[in-house]
């Protein structure tokens, strides 16, 4: 997965700004000489807010885990409840109209939680450490997501995955999704990953073999268009933790899962 716009490159920001700006309680009070722009939210406080939001604690192995009682978990529970009600109704309606209903899930931080990686690396991104992390196939579930995947299947809705993970990461993604109990349609006909070497023809407007110029929205919306127009499904709902998972149409409804730890344009 490509994460080009991490918003909080804390280590780098502190190195540039100097220790005086990054110590506890620094630089927020009495800024009478501040310039006309608003001072951004303090990055040290933001990290604390993120820890509180997830209820982050290190487990016995030193792995950072989110708490099932956290505000994050509560936000997800509300979203899941609304989504189940909607999926049930929309699936019936679609079948009544002779349509094949489908739901689409992003993978990273929609189904598999990357909190340990994000906190461990101070919310920065590095292709090598990220690939190592993904390939361990040991990420925990985003609370409620495996249950939601299985709920959709139980209601006769086809489950698809639409992810920025690469083809090389397919075995790890499948293994990890099995491990968390999201064992639904984990085949290549339902799991769309980024194939930069041999992109599918339906992405030919932005990708040809060896030349990949698709934005995230072009890639993801183009894949949903393929699911609807070529495979004949009606996407009743699309789930993602980034707006770029959701923009570009080809879904009757979108669900934005919370993720304050990075931004993918
Ligand atoms: Mg994601």
Is the torsion defined by CA of 227, 231, 236, 237 positive or negative? negative
Residue 217 and residue 39: Cα distance in Å, rounded?
31
Q: What is the pLDDT of residue 6?
A: 46
Q: Looking at the chain, which residues constitute the CATH 3.40.50.1000 domain(s)?
A: 71-256
> What's the CA-to-centroid distance between 101 and ligand 1, angstroms?
22
Q: What is the pLDDT of residue 188?
A: 98
Least Cα distance to 53 among 133, 6, 118 occurs for 118
> What's the CA-to-centroid distance between 244 and ligand 1, angstroms?
9
> What's the CA-to-centroid distance between 26 and ligand 1, angstroms?
33
> What's the CA-to-centroid distance between 176 and ligand 1, angstroms?
15
Q: What is the pLDDT of residue 34?
A: 58
> What's the CA-to-centroid distance between 38 and ligand 1, angstroms?
30
CATH superfamily of 71-256: HAD superfamily/HAD-like (3.40.50.1000)
CB atoms within 10 A of CB 197: 11
> What's the CA-to-centroid distance between 265 and ligand 1, angstroms?
11
Q: What is the pLDDT of residue 264?
A: 97
> What's the CA-to-centroid distance between 36 and ligand 1, angstroms?
35
E strand or H helix at 192, and its extent? strand 191-194
Residue 60 and residue 52: Cα distance in Å, rounded?
19
Q: What is the pLDDT of residue 156?
A: 97
> What's the CA-to-centroid distance between 110 and ligand 1, angstroms?
5
Q: What is the pLDDT of residue 2?
A: 45
> What's the CA-to-centroid distance between 160 and ligand 1, angstroms?
14
HSE of 167, CA atoms in CB hemisphere, 13 A: 8
Q: What is the pLDDT of residue 38?
A: 87
Find tokens 């716009």 and name the residue: 5
> What's the CA-to-centroid distance between 28 and ligand 1, angstroms?
32
> What's the CA-to-centroid distance between 67 and ligand 1, angstroms?
20
> What's the CA-to-centroid distance between 37 and ligand 1, angstroms?
31
Q: What is the pLDDT of residue 154?
A: 98
| Residues by chain with Cβ below 5 Å of ion ligand 1 | 106, 108-109, 241
Q: What is the pLDDT of residue 11?
A: 42
> What's the CA-to-centroid distance between 106 and ligand 1, angstroms?
5
Helix or strand or coil: residue 260? coil
> What's the CA-to-centroid distance between 11 and ligand 1, angstroms?
23
CA separation, residue 230 to residues 153, 202, 222, 254 (Å): 21, 9, 11, 21
> What's the CA-to-centroid distance between 104 and ligand 1, angstroms?
12
Extract the residue ranges of the chain whose pLDDT is less than 50: 1-4, 6-31
Q: What is the pLDDT of residue 51?
A: 98
Least Cα distance to 257 among 41, 101, 107 occurs for 107
Chain centroid to Cα 121, Å, comes to 17
Q: What is the pLDDT of residue 33?
A: 58
Helix 71-96 to helix 43-54 angle, to the nearest 10 degrees?
A: 60
> What's the CA-to-centroid distance between 239 and ligand 1, angstroms?
9
Residue 109 contacts residue 142 (beta carbons within 8 Å): yes
Q: What is the pLDDT of residue 10?
A: 44
Q: What is the pLDDT of residue 32?
A: 55
């Amino acid at each position: 997965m490509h994460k080009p716009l991490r918003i909080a490159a804390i280590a780098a920001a502190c190195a540039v700004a100097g220790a005086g700006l990054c110590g506890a309680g620094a630089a927020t009070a009495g800024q009478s000489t501040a310039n006309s722009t608003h001072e951004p939210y303090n990055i040290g406080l933001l990290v604390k807010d993120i820890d509180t939001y997830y209820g982050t604690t290190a487990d016995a192995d030193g792995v950072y885990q989110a708490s099932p009682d956290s505000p994050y978990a509560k936000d997800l529970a509300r979203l899941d409840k609304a989504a189940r009600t909607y999926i049930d109704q929309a699936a019936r309606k679609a079948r009544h109209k002779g349509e094949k209903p489908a739901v689409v899930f992003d993978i990273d931080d929609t189904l598999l939680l990357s909190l340990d990686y994000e906190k461990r690396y101070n919310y920065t991104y590095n292709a090598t450490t990220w690939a190592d992390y993904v390939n361990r196939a040991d990420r925990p579930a985003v609370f409620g997501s495996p249950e939601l995947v299985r709920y959709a299947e139980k209601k006769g809705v086809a489950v698809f995955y639409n992810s920025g993970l690469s083809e090389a990461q397919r075995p790890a993604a499948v293994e990890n999704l099995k491990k968390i109990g999201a064992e639904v349609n984990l085949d290549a006909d339902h799991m769309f990953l980024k194939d930069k070497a041999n992109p599918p023809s339906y992405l030919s407007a932005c990708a040809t073999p060896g030349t990949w110029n698709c934005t995230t929205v072009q890639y993801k919306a183009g894949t949903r268009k393929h699911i609807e127009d070529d495979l004949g499904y009606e996407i009743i709902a699309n789930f993602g933790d980034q707006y770029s998972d959701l923009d570009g149409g080809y879904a009757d409804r979108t669900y934005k899962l919370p993720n304050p730890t990075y931004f993918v344009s």
